[in-house]
Amino acid sequence: MIPGVKFLHSLFEVAHVEFQAYDLEDHKLIFSSGVARQLLGYSEDEYLKLSTRFFKEIIYPDDFPIVQDTIDKIRQSKNGDTFEMTLRVRRSDGNYIWLRSRQMIYEKCGDDDVCTIIREVEDVTRLIELQDELKQKVAQLKEVSYKNSHLLRSPVASIIGLVDLIEEHGIASDHNKEIVHFLKESIRRLDEVIHEINDTARSD
């Protein structure tokens, strides 16, 4: 094996990223380093057959317009331009994983038409899951902040107003004065906590 080719072969074996060359004219895969088909669980022959029509058979239907749009952009691009897309692809067990790919022109032919593209593909399923989890946490924080601002602060403000009203009209005994003092202090601390929660939610 030629030293340079041997090095590339070894690199492909240890890489977690798929490298591909794709024929835009014939709509088929020319080269694959094998990472993607292993992630998806297909045999080499199965993966090669599935590569026709830009892997349409295994790309999530709602995501395929992304592929078409990217191909259109590549056909109109110039050398050196890169295009990225993230979409769901069906594994052999029926489950979908998220793959992100970056592609660029490798070869042009004829009337400056794009013949071949090269691309790298990586599994970003866990990253997408983490992003979704983060969105859920943010949504929960917003809900807490809303309840804090609208549902909790309203009765607190009412209690503060009642305490002020009682003080304004006088309190008969020292015992009642002490009770109102403790009540007012507790409400003050509760109001501070509400402000802290709102500040935390806004900063997150």
At residue 159, the pLDDT reads 73
Residue-wise pLDDT tens digits, 163-172: 777 767 666 6
pLDDT > 70 in the chain, percent? 77
At 139, is the pLDDT very low, low, confident or very high (cuts 50, 70, 90)? confident
At 5, is the pLDDT very low, low, confident or very high (cuts 50, 70, 90)? very low
Q: Is 76 exposed, middle or buried (0-12, 13-18, 19+ CB in 10 A)?
A: exposed
In 148-174, which positions are buried (b, 16+ CB within 10 angstroms) versus exposed (e)?
beeebbeeeeebbeebeebeeeeeeee
- Between 190 and 18, whose confidence is greater? 18
At residue 48, the pLDDT reads 92
Q: Which is it for the CA torsion 153, 154, 155, 159, positive or negative?
A: positive
- Contact partners, residue 147, CB within 8 Å, separation at least 6: none
Helices (H), the chain: 3-14, 35-40, 44-50, 52-55, 64-75, 125-146, 153-169, 174-203
Residue 96 has pLDDT above 80, yes or no: yes
- Between 69 and 161, whose confidence is greater? 69
Measured distance CA(28)–CA(48) in Å, rounded: 8
At residue 9, the pLDDT reads 52
At residue 69, the pLDDT reads 95
Q: Which of 31, 79, 23 is nearest to 52 (CA)?
A: 23
Least reliable range by pLDDT among 12-16, 114-118, 155-159:
12-16
At residue 136, the pLDDT reads 87
Mean pLDDT, the chain, integer: 81
At residue 34, the pLDDT reads 87
At residue 83, the pLDDT reads 94
The Cα-based distances of 108 to 53, 99, 156 in angstroms read 19, 26, 71
At residue 4, the pLDDT reads 45
Residue-wise pLDDT tens digits, 64-91: 999 999 999 998 888 889 999 999 999 9
